[in-house]
Amino acid sequence: MTETLWTAVDHYIDGMLVPADAALDAAIETSNAAGLPPIAVTPSQGKLLHLLARIQGARNILEIGTLGGYSTIWLARALPAGGRLITIEADRKYAEIARANILRAGLGGLVELRVGLALEVLPRVAAEGGGAFDLTFIDADKKNIPAYFAFALKLSRRGSVIIVDNVVRDGRVIDALSSDPDILGIRRFNDMLAAEPRVSATAIQTVGAKGHDGFAIALVTGDL
């Protein structure tokens, strides 16, 4: 009942504020048709990412976890001309779907899709010395969130924003006895956030078409 209501409210919000869009709709349709898991951010969450990137004035965005490119399109559309988004995806098949979706959205010139394990790709991105990212969206495997956050910090500057998806997981985040590697990863990330003097952070629970979950948002306030 509750989840039905959350989903109905999501549809109401989408109907009011997040109009249908051919490229975004195609990204979801092709992803579903190819059998990708239906775990992209929801439309209202995608628009939240887009608005946060615009509020931030982001010119350089890093995304970890592309799937079919749905969140990538939302984020890349926030970029000004000459902006750049690097997105990392481990699965070759998912990356192929994403590449087609990004091209269909007309974003091929702004988005660089790197295929590989994020923990192998991130050191290469760091070594390229392309400058700090204004915004990083972490949305890949949850057990490695602590390592991804450490990389995101290293690739940030004072004023950068780091957003992490799926930090609540139906409330399982508060289970201190959990042995689930995903929950352990999220909890260890929260320990890092709490102890990190160079960021100011919060987490927000979300309900809706994807159930009960949440985002963490960190602003880099200290020099790195």
Contact between 89 and Mg ion per CB under 5 A: no
Contact between 203 and ligand DHB per CB under 6 A: no
Task: Tell me whether residue 111 is exposed, middle or buried, using C-beta atoms within 10 angstroms of its C-beta: 0 to 12, 13 to 18, 19 or more.
Answer: buried
45 Cβ neighbours under 8 A, 6+ residues apart: 206, 208, 210, 215
Identified binder of ligand DHB from the candidate list 23, 28, 39, 132, rule CB under 6 A: 39
Contact between 89 and ligand SAH per CB under 6 A: yes
On whether the CB atoms of residues 133 and 60 are closer than 8 A, the answer is: yes
- From residue 76, alpha-carbon distances to 1, 110, 192 in Å are 36, 7, 28
Per-position x/- string for 158-197, each x denoting binding to ligand SAH as judged by CB under 6 A, each - no binding: ----------------------------------------
The one-letter code for the residue type at 45 is Q
Identified binder of ligand DHB from the candidate list 44, 165, 173, 215, rule CB under 6 A: 165
Contact between 10 and ligand SAH per CB under 6 A: no
When the beta carbons of 27 and 153 are compared against ligand SAH, the nearer one is 27
**Residues in 106-165 at the binding interface with ligand SAH, rule: CB under 6 A:** 117-118, 139-141
Contact between 213 and ligand SAH per CB under 6 A: no
**Residues in 138-157 at the binding interface with Mg ion, rule: CB under 5 A:** 139
Alpha helices in the chain (DSSP H): 2-17, 22-33, 43-56, 70-76, 92-104, 118-128, 145-154, 181-195
On the CB side of 94, CA atoms within 13 Å amount to 23
- Full DSSP string of 105-163: TT-TTTEEEEES-HHHHHHHHHHHT----SEEEE-S-GGGHHHHHHHHHHT--TT-EEE
Per-position x/- string for 160-199, each x denoting binding to Mg ion as judged by CB under 5 A, each - no binding: -----xx---------------------------------
Q: Which residues bind ligand SAH (CB under 6 A)?
A: 39-41, 65-67, 70-71, 88-91, 94, 117-118, 139-141
Q: Which residues bind Mg ion (CB under 5 A)?
A: 139, 165-166
Q: Which residues bind ligand DHB (CB under 6 A)?
A: 39, 139, 165-166
